[in-house]
A = this chain, B = another copy of it.
């Protein structure tokens, strides 16, 4: 891989010094005009961005989707005035938009960057996330795209306190991501005072070198030094991620705030802004464009190719765990060359190992680092890949902030959590996903799936691949009978009515393990002459409101059973349907895990939680006799 950029007449160092001042002035103007924002956090990094934009970032501003483009991620998303001032300097955002749009309602220049802007890869603003996303993009660059683009990530010093930053360094070194360059703006001051390590660049260097990075210390206001460091960092030489560790001053360039406390996140009052602009040499309208990469000649997004996908099929009645079906189906859709997978060191439990075996070049072991696991998926989605990331459902809670932010990033990622609920048995509550449905339902635009058998699980894996947004599938540890033949369809937003009659007296609604217990309960009830409808609610969000409503209308009684805490899961999803449809008069029994479980067999724990077939049947009887 060599540098293949078209080099126009690059800006001189003197011009870059001027550009740095312009970025400061515009950061001040934008935030003062908006009445909020972070000018001082922008000013510290202005010289870094001036040099990067003017001489090193290989980017075709007119074709942001060009696969050969470098990537620029603002991990310190609050420095959005700086980013948007860069956009002005390269001519993709007008001064008027900057001054009237920043942080305004309906504007694309939001308080923190989001991909409503075509040049923004990922939403940032929750600190410590940009670098892990950068790892994902850099993994794609080195191992999938095999293109010589670089991923430049601007980090603050405060956010180095986030563990996720160190998950990122660890994986960047493990995967030899010399295409990842972390530019650390060490301005010494956090929101409420000095950072832990202040300007102790030696301490930062020890940590980063300890984690396997190559560290270049620079004076972050010396454009010549920055230029040299960026030339070195961007060389793609070596096998290590690179850090440009820049000693900077917050509010640099305006003596009234420079390196002073109590100026975080505060726009300058108008009069003060005037003085600042004067001190910074006044308004400028420099236009600069840096190098442009040679076009890759590739489509914007990696293509699936034309290999035939041979989905697994299962014999009805055979006992197969849905987690096994996940692995089977993932390996199958891996015939599509744009599908990638990763796992948090439990691939032999989640069955992601099947993909790792069949498509090793597109499998990434992320070890026990769930934040980086999800961030890697987001980063690969930036480059148009179709990522699946898996671990235990319980441990996806570790990445909730990343999952929430993935929705803001408009990332298309599939997450799969195994070992859901008390059904797992002896391992105990730390390993039981009991909050995952609530967690994922509350994410904007999410899809939440919970198949009950191998056939539906496999079909839904394929459906997830083609659906936008944050998608979640919950799988079950134990092996239960296959319910459906391979010819059945499982549209997202649908459900399956497994048993129904005109005179149904009650409907039993479950998913996963509880669906099997609903079926057994229906049999118990049938033996007593009670006819029960049974609904497999494999799509929790979106939910098949019409079928649920029909069951409520037909029977007047619903038993909702879920191996999850009562809040925010299947049960409340159904209650919301009833409320929306004006069917709240339906009698409802909601069975869920209300006590803290311990260890035991799956049957013992399900029974103890009131989720056995007998419990479901009893709830139905109670509704009917009420």
Interface residues of A (CB under 8 A from B): 34-37, 77, 103-107, 109-112, 114, 116, 123-128, 158-159, 161-167, 170, 174, 190-192, 195-196, 203, 206-212, 345-349, 353, 367-372, 394-395, 397-398, 400-401, 404-405, 407-408, 425-431, 434-435, 438-439, 441-445, 541, 564-569, 571-573, 575-576, 578-580, 582-588, 590, 596, 598-601, 604-605, 608
Contact A566 B576 (CB under 8 A): yes
Contact A430 B165 (CB under 8 A): no
Contact A112 B430 (CB under 8 A): yes
Identify the closest chain B residue to A588 (Cβ).
Answer: B579
Partner of A568, one of B429, B572, B584, B598: B572
Chain B contacts for A425, CB-based, 8 A: 36
CA distance A472 to B485 in the complex (A): 46
Contact B394 A404 (CB under 8 A): yes
Partner of A105, one of B126, B191, B598: B598
Contact B367 A161 (CB under 8 A): yes
Chain B contacts for A124, CB-based, 8 A: 430
Q: A103-B426, A105-B601, A158-B368 are in contact. List 12 more A-B contacts (CB 8 A).
A: A36-B427, A106-B598, A107-B599, A110-B599, A190-B345, A191-B346, A408-B596, A441-B567, A441-B568, A442-B569, A571-B576, A575-B575
Partner of A584, one of B207, B371, B588: B588
Show 25 A/B contacts (Cβ-Cβ < 8 Å), sorted by A. A35-B426, A36-B427, A104-B600, A105-B599, A105-B608, A111-B426, A111-B427, A111-B431, A112-B431, A124-B430, A125-B427, A126-B395, A161-B345, A163-B164, A397-B401, A400-B435, A408-B429, A441-B567, A442-B564, A442-B568, A568-B568, A578-B579, A579-B584, A579-B588, A580-B590
Contact A167 B162 (CB under 8 A): yes
CA distance A222 to B174 in the complex (A): 31
What distance in Å separates the Cβ of A124 from its nearest Cβ neighbour in chain B? Answer: 7
Chain B contacts for A576, CB-based, 8 A: 566-567, 571-572, 575, 590
Contact B394 A599 (CB under 8 A): no
Contact B163 A598 (CB under 8 A): no
Contact B428 A125 (CB under 8 A): yes
- Contact A408 B430, CB 8 Å, known A346-B192, A348-B191, A441-B568: yes
